[in-house]
Amino acid sequence: MKTPFFILLLLGSVLLPPSCDSAKQDKNPEPFVTIIGEITSPAGDSVWYCLETRFGYEYKVSGTTLDSSGHFKLQFKLDEPTSVTLIEGNEGASLFVKPGDQIQLTLDANQFDETINFSGMGREENTYLAKKVLEFNDKGVFYVYNMRDSLGVDGGIKYVENLKKRRFQFLNDYIETHKDLSPEFINWEKTNIEFELPTLLFQYTFNRKVDSTLDTILHIFGFFITMKPLYSLSPEFNSYLILFPKYLTYIYSDLFLNSNNHDSILLDLIISQSQGYARNKLIAEQFENKLADYNLEYFNQNKAVFDKFVTMELFRERVLSSYEKAVKALESNMPADARLINLENEKYNHLTYQDIIDHYKGKVIYLDFWASWCGPCKAEMPFSLGLQKKFNDKEVAFVYFSSDADSVAWKNMVRILQISGDHYRLSKSVRKVTNDLFDVQFIPRYVLIDKMGNVVEAAAKRPSNTEIVGEIEKLL
């Protein structure tokens, strides 16, 4: 099975030493999982695992090197049964693992899905998953998405409903002939199948931008929040919960139209429209998302909500830990030579893009489009500060245009990254002008402007590219 691209992007952990020891079953399992394998014709020299957690699209990734014979050994701590993706080259296999499992496998990388074979603990569960890939790999979400035009709306809905029936039949047939399947695995897989339906329908409809069946799809999707999953740590249930806030913003769109307090509205809707584990997780993730932007104000304003509704200890501990980290990160002061102007404020909303550029006439302008949530943008900031230092006594202005919707997140990130220079949080009107001028579809984006205010390079090199130094020097 081809490895999802977002998982491949995560591969960057320290490699562990290779080993090909034999697995031994323990009567008193330790909270570790061991995967021992042999890969014939490997695409590379490493094998990785990607472990899903309970917190949204967060994945723990690590790996090890293969020895000269293609053997490897992976070991990691695990507190509860869950899924793990084993990755070699561009191929991957989903495994179900439990604390104490010692799984053995072999495969030929040239025929990854067809040759993967399991022995030892977890053999029956993971053999099922391998067979399921061969049976359904081309008949799931990617099939529905790729066939959305030829299937049509009604055809797509019927296909997804029929797919659910076929998946359950496939599982039930396997259960009948494999009596040693663990109850955790059965509940995990039943939850996956059950919650794949609303997730597929939701994605199918919105990818098509279909209005005629929107109410029907939203009704089906919303119904599932009332269902208690048989196993909460399920990838499909997790995907469902990730989409649920988006569902709320669609179905209650009137509440959001003329309000500037979308966060509070969404939080209230989550409280009223969910319950139990789902509500704990959804509310905790709202706090986590804000704390990821170092937004302490949201946490402090809604602390009573957190204390009342986030009652599960694993979610409470996670959020409180994130809060402590954010507090520590914000202990630094705002850079003394940073000037912040929020163009959404009444004091500055009269300023135009041209007003800003005219302010720096007589200087070369290195314009940086960024946002606090943009990882690549933040990765460039140390290099940007290096440029500032290099041109400290020259006629060069470093101007930062933020597209942040959240002014608190914007200010906090300037403080945390210690970004000196002139900062503007763009208003809608200025953002429209810059988008029209420079077609800013992706960030980070850099623009080089000469001393007369003329655009020299609308897609200038990044600060990390050493060639930008020479290009700035030419304009001095």
- Reported as a single tens digit per residue, the pLDDT across 133-165 is 998 875 555 555 555 556 666 777 787 888 889
The range of the structural domain enclosing residue 119 comes to 32-137
Distance, in Å, from the CA atom of 270 to the CA atom of 275, rounded to the nearest integer, reads: 9
Does residue 119 sit in the same domain as residue 172?
A: no
Residue 421 belongs to a domain with what CATH number?
A: 3.40.30.10
Burial label for 306, CB within 10 Å (0-12, 13-18, 19+), is: buried
- The pLDDT assigned to 396 comes to 96
Beta carbons of 42 and 66 less than 8 angstroms apart: yes
Of 228, 188, 172, nearest to 84 (Cα)? Answer: 188
Among 137, 152, 176, where does a domain finish? 137
Among 137, 165, 196, where does a domain finish? 137
Torsion angle of C-alpha atoms 131, 135, 139, 142, degrees rounded to 10: 30
Does residue 225 sit in the same domain as residue 115?
A: no
Decide if 329 is inside a domain.
Answer: no
- The pLDDT assigned to 53 comes to 79
Beta carbons of 312 and 395 less than 8 angstroms apart: no
- The pLDDT assigned to 8 comes to 40
- Reported as a single tens digit per residue, the pLDDT across 291-341 is 988 889 999 999 999 999 999 999 999 999 999 999 998 888 999 899 999
Q: Which tokens hold the place of 164?
A: 């659910």
Q: Facing residues of 83 across strands?
A: 96
Q: Which tokens hold the place of 321?
A: 């830990």
Distance, in Å, from the CA atom of 59 to the CA atom of 290, rounded to the nearest integer, reads: 19
Does residue 159 sit in the same domain as residue 210?
A: yes
Beta carbons of 138 and 127 less than 8 angstroms apart: no
- Residue with token string 């030892």: 120
Does residue 184 sit in the same domain as residue 221?
A: yes
- Cα 429 from chain centroid (whole Å): 30
Does residue 125 sit in the same domain as residue 239?
A: no
Bridge pairing between strands 82-88 and 46-52: antiparallel
Decide if 24 is inside a domain.
Answer: no
pTM of the model: 0.73
Decide if 452 is inside a domain.
Answer: yes
Does residue 164 sit in the same domain as residue 233?
A: yes
Does residue 130 sit in the same domain as residue 143?
A: no
User: Which parts of the chain have pLDDT scores under 50?
Assistant: 3-28
Beta carbons of 266 and 248 less than 8 angstroms apart: yes
Q: Which tokens hold the place of 325?
A: 């980290």
- The pLDDT assigned to 14 comes to 34
Distance, in Å, from the CA atom of 467 to the CA atom of 16, rounded to the nearest integer, reads: 37
Q: Which tokens hold the place of 191?
A: 């939850």
Residue 211, CA distances (Å) to 144, 186, 199, 217, 255 in order: 18, 37, 17, 10, 20
Does residue 154 sit in the same domain as residue 240?
A: yes
Among 228, 258, 288, where does a domain finish? 258
- The pLDDT assigned to 217 comes to 72
Bridge pairing between strands 445-449 and 364-370: antiparallel
